């Protein structure tokens, strides 16, 4: 019944675009979440997490936990 994720359940926002996270991707090992497209772009410029400034290993496929 409640299959379509409505409002309320997850209000996590992407620190890069400041909107609701779409296609969440988690960094390894800090597990901060960002939009897939946002962190992909970010990762081309910086190899540090936008939130904790930690080094991360971004791997498009296996960091997608969703
Ligand atoms: Zn974003
Ligand atoms: Zn982080």
Task: Say which CATH number the domain at 45 has.
Answer: 3.30.40.10
Decide if 47 is inside a domain: yes
| Ligand nearest, relative to CA of residue 17 | 1
Task: For residue 11, give every residue at least 6 positions away whose Cβ sits within 8 Å of its Cβ, in sequence order, or none.
Answer: 20
Rounded to the nearest angstrom, the distance between the alpha carbon of 51 and the centre of ligand 2 is 5
Overall pTM > 0.85: no
Rounded to the nearest angstrom, the distance between the alpha carbon of 45 and the centre of ligand 1 is 15
Interval 8-60: pLDDT, tens:
445 689 999 999 999 998 888 898 999 999 999 998 898 899 999 998 876 54
**Count of domains observed in the chain:** 1
Q: Domain limits at 34?
A: 18-66
Rounded to the nearest angstrom, the distance between the alpha carbon of 16 and the centre of ligand 2 is 12
Backbone angles phi, psi at 6, to 5 degrees: -90, -150
Decide if 41 is inside a domain: yes
Decide if 37 is inside a domain: yes
């Amino acid at each position: 019944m409640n299959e379509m994720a409505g409002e309320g359940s997850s209000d996590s926002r992407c620190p890069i675009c400041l909107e609701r996270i779409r296609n969440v991707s988690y960094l390894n090992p800090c597990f901060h979440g960002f939009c897939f497209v946002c962190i992909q772009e970010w990762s081309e410029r910086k190899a540090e997490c936008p939130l904790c400034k930690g080094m991360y290993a971004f791997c498009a496929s296996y960091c997608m936990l969703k």
